[in-house]
Structure 1
Amino acid sequence: MRLSPRLLASPVITPFKPGQPSPRLAILPPIPLYRRLLRIHRKKLDPEERIMGDLYLKAEFRRHKDIDNPIHIIGFLTQWQQYGQMLEGDGWKEQKLDVELLDKMSDQQIGQLYELMQAIQQRGRDSADEEIEEGDLVKKAKE
């Protein structure tokens, strides 16, 4: 990504608060934004969520590093900055995906979202199975 004076604007530190419209953002440059998001993941996410989040974050930034279209760059950085502000707030786990945002997604994006949902559900089933097996082992040990 090529840097421009507009991308070098100072950051807005105000955390996201659910139910309030987000203030206009001064866009962070790519590398400071990337580092900030990794720090937020380290502070706010559980270990499993952090692994998945870090991998996705790294892949997306790598995938977009050679983009030259300023509109795409600004959109990309703005969305990631809003994501970071959302994580800094407290109500993000209860939020639902906005229908308008879902309507704007491409078929490929919806497919990725569906795959992510399936991976999360499978992970939940696997951990539930492990808990059941551990419970059975504890019962047998007590007998």
Structure 2
Amino acid sequence: MRASLRHLASHTPLTTPNLLKSEPVALLPPIPLYRRVLRSHRKLPRNMRLLGDEYVKSEFRAHRNVENPVHIIGFLTEWQSYAQQLEGDAWRDARMDKGKIDKMSDQQLGQLYELMQTIREKELKENDPEHQGEQ
């Protein structure tokens, strides 16, 4: 993301839907947000943290050169919301909003499906005695 667009992201208000605060929260620039998300992963179980860290790193790398301000704001908004959920333990029994799923592109849906499959495979390996030797 270009430096000129970083300052745009730092001054954009983000409303917090799950909190009862009336004041908007400023949107963090990419690098501080990246660090915040990785820090919030520290309290996750080891296997979830490793998977999450890999995913965060690849997503931020993939969006490094995006120049469309709308995409940048959307990207940063969603990751900041994710970090807030992790910090407040709101993620534990959370479900993805159907409206967000409906707005996803085919590529995003495919990526979400791949992530789900990876999580299921890891859970199977951890819980299935036959797969214990493969770890």
TM bucket normalised to smaller:
0.7 to 0.9
8 Å CA contact retained: 1:25, 1:78: no
Identity, in percent, stands at 52
SS at match of 1:93: coil
Task: Within 5 Å, give how 1:44-55 maps onto structure 2.
Answer: 44-55=43-54
Q: Could you tell me which residue of structure 1 aligns to residue 93 of structure 2? A: 94
8 Å CA contact retained: 1:67, 1:73: yes
Rounded Cα–Cα distance in structure 2 between residues aligned with 1:116 and 1:90: 21
TM-score by length of 2: 0.81
Question: Cα RMSD over matched residues?
Answer: 2.9
Unpaired runs of 5+ residues, structure 2, are none
Higher relative contact order (CA 8 A, sep 6+): 1
Rounded Cα–Cα distance in structure 1 between residues aligned with 2:22 and 2:75: 16
TM-score by length of 1: 0.77
Q: Could you tell me which residue of structure 1 aligns to residue 39 of structure 2? A: 39
8 Å CA contact retained: 2:125, 2:131: no
8 Å CA contact retained: 2:11, 2:27: yes
**One-letter amino acid of the counterpart of residue 46, structure 1:** P
Rounded Cα–Cα distance in structure 2 between residues aligned with 1:124 and 1:104: 28
Rounded Cα–Cα distance in structure 2 between residues aligned with 1:51 and 1:61: 16
Q: Could you report, residue by residue, the CA deviation over 1:2-49 in whole angstroms, capped at 9, with x for unpaired residues?
A: 23433334998xxx784758963311111111111111111x311111
Greater Rg, structure 1 or structure 2?
1
Rounded Cα–Cα distance in structure 2 between residues aligned with 1:39 and 1:75: 21
Total equivalences in the alignment: 130
Once the 2 structures are TM-superposed, how far is the Cα of residue 126 of structure 1 from its aligned partner? 1.4
Q: Could you tell me which residue of structure 2 aligns to residue 56 of structure 1? A: 55
